[in-house]
Homo-oligomer: A and B are copies of this chain.
């Protein structure tokens, strides 16, 4: 049996553990693996590399993907409707028996259509650093990411204390607040902003002022890049506003820092962690999760259970139809924000001894 792999979309710690586990499991069953380079682009153009057990054994500790990635999507180029045909032709010519596609909603959406429209023998492995895919409890990359945010904030804390500042940390999370919420809990943030919850600027500033009054020498705000400030919360008159009156995505950290400094009078700085959050060696959790998903994706292929994806449910790896998994954004479970909210309260009554 000859199995092809590809990784699509943004890179993410944990991709290499999946690749390694697939290669080993297919090898153990007597098969061989090849890797299509740079996502669907390589699959369409026939660029690939042989994947052997001894070449992939140590990649478990490496971030990113040894196969490269791209945002090429055969179904999103209106000028060339023949891309899916070429892709299938490529796999025919390469004598590939099945494909394991590792990627997010976009990549798995392609996989799902290839299976439903053309019975293409494909199995999916869910990947999103933002943890916003449905059908799986957690995605690999997420745990590494929140640890990077946490370690960065642990560093920034002493600077904030020394200069009596508020620090605003802007994290990834365009559509869902998983990273900001978990990292905010883990770093003892004074307030967390996520896309799922309307931000109360006054409440946030009141907390910062109350804690300063109680003697806390610094403040810490964790904000998803996708969190939205109400128009009334903007300080810069020229900030772009979207159709709903929200300040536009991007730059939330800098904008918030200005708002906070103006309203509280406390010196405030923003730090945008950016690409740091998706790089480097995967955490143990992500290595184990990636490995387990890879083994079980390979087993699906060996059992010819196509059109499905693997997923984490509780402590077990299960599988589900690709068609159910795609198209639905999994936003942050608000129970986590309710728990985090215990730390966003402050004593309105100054006579209450905290």
Contact = CB atoms under 8 A, between A and B. Distances in A.
B155 A280 contact: yes
A93 interface: no
A215 B276 CA distance: 25
Nearest to A340: B291
B215 A54 contact: yes
A27 B349 CA distance: 13
Contacts of A276: 152, 155-156, 271
B158 A61 contact: no
A69 B288 contact: no
A228 interface: no
A260 to B, nearest CB: 16
A271 B271 contact: no
Interface string A34-72: 000010000000000000111001101111110011100
Interface string A157-191: 11101111001000000000000001101111000
Interface in A146-160: 146-150, 152, 154-159
A345 interface: yes
Among A30, A54, A274, A343: residue with most chain B CB under 10 A: A343
A23 to B, nearest CB: 10
Q: Categorize the interface residue count of chain A.
A: 35 or more
A335 interface: yes
A45 to B, nearest CB: 15
Interface string A1-26: 00000010001010100001100110
A333 interface: yes
Nearest to A67: B162
A354 interface: yes
Nearest to A55: B354
A137 B315 contact: yes
A284 B186 contact: yes
B167 A275 contact: yes
A167 B159 CA distance: 26
Contacts of A296: 339
Contacts of A216: 54, 57
A14 to B, nearest CB: 11
